[in-house]
A and B are shown apart, each in its own frame.
Chain A
């Protein structure tokens, strides 16, 4: 089948071969080769990609039904593997594929572009919607089947959280339990609950019909593994474990921050549900400070407030620097690390025997990074201040489980940030990256804003082309804007520019050898007509 296609296009091949050589020759002769190489719009020469990923694109045009065996394994020697996130609601609440046709053509377009794969969010609230242990994978199986057919890779994100944005809540039965037992949710000091994910304090408490959330997550993973066994390790080559709100490893300290406020506030500590308070009390008793363990810091500002509006986060003389502050913050952040530890160990034992990479996502809480206390990070659970590196422990823990770390915010720049220049996504990213490097944790990048514009792509490129940069990138996410005329051409350009930054010199001199051949083109085009 293939041969016929290629055979019939031989003539054309010759023609273009020349097309590409000639200018090279010209500029070379003029002594402009340096210029030429620089101006090269540069895609192409990745030895890895040349032989693997992209080769399939032609096939993809021709036929959908390629047998999986023929699809070569991705070998990413150098180069960044790019994944595009599928819409959050690609499988609807009622377990059908939304916009199936758009997804299908979208996948094809991505395949043709040479993208490595797609990212598929799989929601707890969709699969195990009605009752514990009652899984319905049908919608997702259909999507995986589609992706498989097109010959793209798939990275699956297991979402143990809900999303207001995508209108996908937690499973019905979990929400029902939550009505009777509100302490399974994170709670702030006013008693406001965050109902989009379970509190990490109940990880090992049998609150779900006699099972602990960790057990339920584990069963979910096992069922997933069973249902997708034929794809895991082939089409599915990566799984990320949902670690908290929006899948991120963090406390929902931002739950009360209004989107309108110009200057994002510091957020609030989420340690007021019963289980958290019990853990705090226990911690106080074991460390001999029972009086410090009655609640969170009394002088922490409100969600939208600035750090200096109350005593805790003050740059100078703030309680965060006091022994009490250290007592509280080390406890608060250690719970988060332990939570991630539990889930990642669960994932690596569940999927350890298959050829998939496990990842977890660490958010980029860059607001107020340039203050001494880093309040937004503290409330989110990262004990990272002027005096202390909070990401080392996390990177170490990721390394222990050989998990990859997904880092969002690669599209963000320091410029144009509000907050009087006190936020710094770039510096924070640098800090986390160096922690990862130190502990040998592989990093995958992600963009934060839904609408990446020109500058955003530039920033992503910068990150990805840097030394020791991310090996893969998750581009979020497919949808109307993604394919829109204002965005898609930029994305196309980005993908191509990522393919290869430089032209190989060995492409240039070959030019002259075949200079006589062009005439063959005309004569062969006649043949072409007959065969076409």
Chain B
């Protein structure tokens, strides 16, 4: 640590990396990092002069001299350090705490206090408002001025933000933050609504996706807010005497039970009868934790080996997953033994070494000796539970050879500045130093609160970095919005995240093992009782192996199929009543099938005309006016902004850039989640608005699975479909990207290519130029929902029907391939049922999932074949194919018209 010289190059890397990944979709080559560090830099070899271990480090090393690596360690100590760098490590940890709400009486009966607090550290803000007696709808109002605690800030005209203050007392020995609101019970305030916001992380804490609600009057039960009272935050009025009780238990299950009973209680209580209560809720917050790993490099004077010394302050067992490389390509290679103690070979690709504890100090260390011939040392760090830490999304890379060469250079010509420029790697390493330094200077300006000269000099690198990142992020977001108005699309594919990236659970993308059933067709509305009919088939669908069902759009609609919604809160449709729908969802849940709601967010049919006789005023609970309609469709004279996507011309397109629209839609989606029990979404016509808004909706509703319909035309030349459909799938991938990967999309590209391949017997189309599947599934399988037919393409509409008679080949393809397959209702209940059922059970049996690996083994005129996860082989097409019997042995398990599937035995 004595030389923090080393920390700087990292920032440089960091910045460079960010600019690359942020803008990846646009420019294949990132803007040269050199633009940020423009001057020639002092030589690297300065490091050698002033670095070296500080006294404390030395002591620490001696303290563990008895360990097995002692000899090497001593060798290490006696040599000059050539390279030293501290890499910051950032990871997220969850901490648990609780939110508590207390409602009690003040000095007399008119005076009440509401206290909201939180036991986790943070910059907590209470975002709150009130409802009045007789308010219709769910809008908030601002409380009267006398209710607002000091420090409150108005947010528009409907809410107040009040920061929580650190309490002077403690709770169970912990510090906590709280805010107090005084209430006069004789006002006409019906309820206090709030959410808790953490300014540090920007997260909002709600109660089951809804605002917290503290009812002050019973009349609430009688008006339209009954929904809120029932499903909002049910703070249970109860005697104060119970307080200690709850405090002791304070558990969620307990709380649930109470809720049921107290609902009854509430209705019995009179208007005046306010009672105090106390409630706690557990919360979990992700905090980012900063650690670092220090790397130093020396040359062992005796063996001429390169010694790499790692040291980190990470807690717990730390494993270094490492390898070496011979050139700049950074291909991992396993060096020859001997290895440090506690080393294992991992799949012949890398080594895993458990770091040694640092004795008295916190943290761990490891020492690695490399042969001269290796150019670089690569590693990532692994904590327990599959938590991986890398260097800004890439492997850590220590260019040992250039360090060696620069040290030699340095010995030869000790004082000339020019020579250092000769080693390119060194030069970049150091050039960033000055760059960083410059930033540091700038960052000095940032925190002026620390006024002393000494402190002013010292600034945090992490802060700089996060500011830089923040700027980059903001710029990228602004760019993507501004650009969305322009018809440009990026060229480069977004590749599947590398294996070593920390596994991240995205909401909306499921477990990876989903198999979807589209539970309706274009005619399903006709009997008027579809929900009931489908309910009878629920168990059968479950036994066929489906895990997700997609239900038709549930809202009141101008067209009977449901895709022209009017009043979003009216769920009585041609498919059945809201109660029948709830019943159906319940039934599916009983048989372990998750349910996707088909939500139409792009457009909405108006119920009233404006003064010009144009239908653009909405009715129902979301009684928006023409500000909610995009401005660029002259038919509907919207007063909103321009559309952020394509227009759907049959109905007013909703302007998602309006805050009130998004707020209302989020609320509606949350309501669907809680009221109906939907687990996720099928999003209609997402071409019509920017994917970033979808992200917003998904973030608010946290669906377990979501898929968007981004359907546009494939590329054709002279009426013939192009082999290369990269532009088409790029557009879909761009959309998924815009949602931040929170949603999957229907793989329209795959369907299109299957059409051409099967219809014209051109199976070669099923491999793209890089030997991968040609659809979205070839680029981003975990976000691709593959399908053969849906209610638009097939059914009685037949807008783009799959080649007749070849559907089962299509299913043989999608049900054996990565991606998430969706099966159309009409095909399930047809003569294909048994074949489809066998394919599904084969998929489940072999645990094929959306990220399964695929190797295309043949793609010729009349036959296509592939091997998935080295467990399943398949072919479609009339041509001949048998999988090679090496290394696996294959047994044919399914066979039908022009397709065969084998399993490894």
Whether A26 lies near B481 (C-beta < 8 A) is no
B412 CB within 8 Å of chain A? no
A58 CB within 8 Å of chain B? yes
A525 CB within 8 Å of chain B? yes
Which stretch in B37-45, B364-372, B598-606 binds the other chain?
A: B37-45
Docked pose: A479 CA to B483 CA in angstroms? 8
Docked pose: A36 CA to B437 CA in angstroms? 11
Whether A6 lies near B441 (C-beta < 8 A) is no
* Residues of A with C-beta under 8 A to B434: 23, 36, 39-41
Other-chain contact of B457, A6, A21, A27, A528 (Cβ < 8 Å): A21
A44 CB within 8 Å of chain B? yes
B436 CB within 8 Å of chain A? yes
Evaluate whether A63 and B657 lie within 8 angstroms (CB atoms) in the complex, with A22-B4, A480-B479, A488-B479 already known: no
Whether B449 lies near A2 (C-beta < 8 A) is yes
**Least Cβ distance of A256 to chain B in Å?**
30
* Residues of A with C-beta under 8 A to B281: none
* Residues of B with C-beta under 8 A to A2: 449
B575 CB within 8 Å of chain A? no
Whether B467 lies near A19 (C-beta < 8 A) is no
Other-chain contact of B477, A1, A13, A105, A528 (Cβ < 8 Å): A105
**Least Cβ distance of A235 to chain B in Å?**
16
Number of interface residues of A (CB under 8 A): 99
* Residues of B with C-beta under 8 A to A41: 36-39, 434-435, 437-438
Whether A485 lies near B31 (C-beta < 8 A) is yes
Whether B26 lies near A485 (C-beta < 8 A) is yes
Whether A43 lies near B478 (C-beta < 8 A) is no
Which stretch in B283-291, B322-330, B334-342, B751-759 binds the other chain?
A: B283-291
* Residues of B with C-beta under 8 A to A5: 123, 200
- For window 472-529 of A, CB contacts with B under 8 Å fall at 478-480, 482-486, 488-490, 492-493, 496, 499-500, 503, 507, 510, 514-515, 518-519, 521-523, 525-526, 528-529
- For window 631-664 of B, CB contacts with A under 8 Å fall at 631, 639-642, 657, 659
Whether B437 lies near A518 (C-beta < 8 A) is no
Nearest CB to that of B24 among chain A residues?
A: A485
Other-chain contact of B290, A12, A482, A500 (Cβ < 8 Å): A12
Evaluate whether A62 and B313 lie within 8 angstroms (CB atoms) in the complex, with A27-B42, A528-B290 already known: no
**Least Cβ distance of A265 to chain B in Å?**
32
- For window 403-453 of B, CB contacts with A under 8 Å fall at 415, 417, 433-450
- For window 1-28 of A, CB contacts with B under 8 Å fall at 1-6, 9, 12-27
Docked pose: A99 CA to B200 CA in angstroms? 26
Docked pose: A1 CA to B177 CA in angstroms? 12
* Residues of A with C-beta under 8 A to B39: 38-41
Evaluate whether A522 and B313 lie within 8 angstroms (CB atoms) in the complex, with A15-B461, A43-B442 already known: yes
Docked pose: A57 CA to B466 CA in angstroms? 12
Nearest CB to that of A102 among chain B residues?
A: B481
Whether B4 lies near A18 (C-beta < 8 A) is yes
Whether A62 lies near B4 (C-beta < 8 A) is no
* Residues of A with C-beta under 8 A to B483: 480, 484
* Residues of B with C-beta under 8 A to A500: 441
Docked pose: A392 CA to B649 CA in angstroms? 58
B715 CB within 8 Å of chain A? no
Docked pose: A23 CA to B463 CA in angstroms? 20
Nearest CB to that of B642 among chain A residues?
A: A98
Docked pose: A118 CA to B47 CA in angstroms? 43
Whether A61 lies near B437 (C-beta < 8 A) is no
Docked pose: A247 CA to B466 CA in angstroms? 40
Evaluate whether A49 and B457 lie within 8 angstroms (CB atoms) in the complex, with A35-B42, A98-B642, A99-B481 already known: no
- For window 31-50 of A, CB contacts with B under 8 Å fall at 32, 35-36, 38-46, 49-50
**Least Cβ distance of B41 to chain A in Å?**
6
B545 CB within 8 Å of chain A? no
Nearest CB to that of A95 among chain B residues?
A: B639
Whether A32 lies near B290 (C-beta < 8 A) is no
* Residues of B with C-beta under 8 A to A100: 641, 657, 659
Docked pose: A14 CA to B479 CA in angstroms? 35
Whether A44 lies near B445 (C-beta < 8 A) is yes
**Least Cβ distance of B439 to chain A in Å?**
7
Whether B2 lies near A515 (C-beta < 8 A) is yes
Docked pose: A6 CA to B455 CA in angstroms? 11
* Residues of B with C-beta under 8 A to A6: 447, 449-450
**Least Cβ distance of A231 to chain B in Å?**
16
A311 CB within 8 Å of chain B? no
B884 CB within 8 Å of chain A? no
Whether B641 lies near A489 (C-beta < 8 A) is no
Whether A19 lies near B449 (C-beta < 8 A) is no
Which stretch in B468-476, B505-513, B790-798 binds the other chain?
A: B468-476
* Residues of B with C-beta under 8 A to A32: 42, 417
**Least Cβ distance of B841 to chain A in Å?**
47
B54 CB within 8 Å of chain A? yes
Docked pose: A100 CA to B658 CA in angstroms? 8
Docked pose: A76 CA to B479 CA in angstroms? 30
Other-chain contact of A55, B315, B436, B437, B447 (Cβ < 8 Å): B447
* Residues of B with C-beta under 8 A to A485: 19, 22-23, 26-27, 30-31, 479
A132 CB within 8 Å of chain B? no
Evaluate whether A44 and B442 lie within 8 angstroms (CB atoms) in the complex, with A100-B641, A518-B2 already known: yes
* Residues of A with C-beta under 8 A to B161: 65
* Residues of A with C-beta under 8 A to B56: 519
Whether B441 lies near A44 (C-beta < 8 A) is yes
A322 CB within 8 Å of chain B? no
Whether A20 lies near B35 (C-beta < 8 A) is no
A207 CB within 8 Å of chain B? no
**Least Cβ distance of B612 to chain A in Å?**
14
Whether B641 lies near A480 (C-beta < 8 A) is no
A387 CB within 8 Å of chain B? no
* Residues of B with C-beta under 8 A to A36: 42, 434
**Least Cβ distance of A234 to chain B in Å?**
17
Nearest CB to that of A109 among chain B residues?
A: B474
Whether A114 lies near B19 (C-beta < 8 A) is no
* Residues of A with C-beta under 8 A to B440: 16, 19-20, 44
Whether A483 lies near B42 (C-beta < 8 A) is no
Other-chain contact of B445, A26, A50, A61, A478 (Cβ < 8 Å): A50
Docked pose: A24 CA to B436 CA in angstroms? 12
The 0/1 profile, CB within 8 Å of A marked 1, for residues 464-498 of chain B is 10110011001111110111011000000000000
Evaluate whether A15 and B123 lie within 8 angstroms (CB atoms) in the complex, with A23-B434, A486-B31, A488-B475 already known: no
**Least Cβ distance of B69 to chain A in Å?**
21
Whether B471 lies near A489 (C-beta < 8 A) is no
A112 CB within 8 Å of chain B? yes
Residue among A20, A45, A54, A98 with the highest chain B CB neighbour number at 10 A: A20
Other-chain contact of B438, A42, A57, A525 (Cβ < 8 Å): A42
Whether B123 lies near A55 (C-beta < 8 A) is no
* Residues of A with C-beta under 8 A to B455: 13
Docked pose: A54 CA to B441 CA in angstroms? 12
**Least Cβ distance of A528 to chain B in Å?**
6
Evaluate whether A19 and B417 lie within 8 angstroms (CB atoms) in the complex, with A54-B445, A484-B26 already known: no
B62 CB within 8 Å of chain A? no
18 sampled A-B residue pairs with Cβ under 8 A: A16-B440, A16-B458, A17-B459, A29-B49, A30-B46, A46-B445, A51-B445, A58-B447, A63-B123, A65-B155, A102-B482, A112-B471, A485-B30, A496-B438, A499-B442, A518-B1, A519-B1, A529-B290
The list of the 3 closest CB pairs from A to B, nearest first, reads: A17-B458, A44-B441, A41-B438
A residues apposed to B, CB below 8 Å: 1-6, 9, 12-27, 29-30, 32, 35-36, 38-46, 49-51, 53-55, 57-58, 61-63, 65, 67, 92, 94, 96-103, 105-106, 108-109, 112-114, 478-480, 482-486, 488-490, 492-493, 496, 499-500, 503, 507, 510, 514-515, 518-519, 521-523, 525-526, 528-529, 531-532
Known: A38-B39, A105-B478, A483-B479. 17 other contacts (CB 8 A): A5-B200, A12-B460, A12-B462, A13-B455, A13-B460, A13-B463, A19-B4, A20-B436, A22-B50, A44-B440, A62-B200, A65-B161, A92-B631, A484-B479, A485-B27, A492-B36, A523-B362
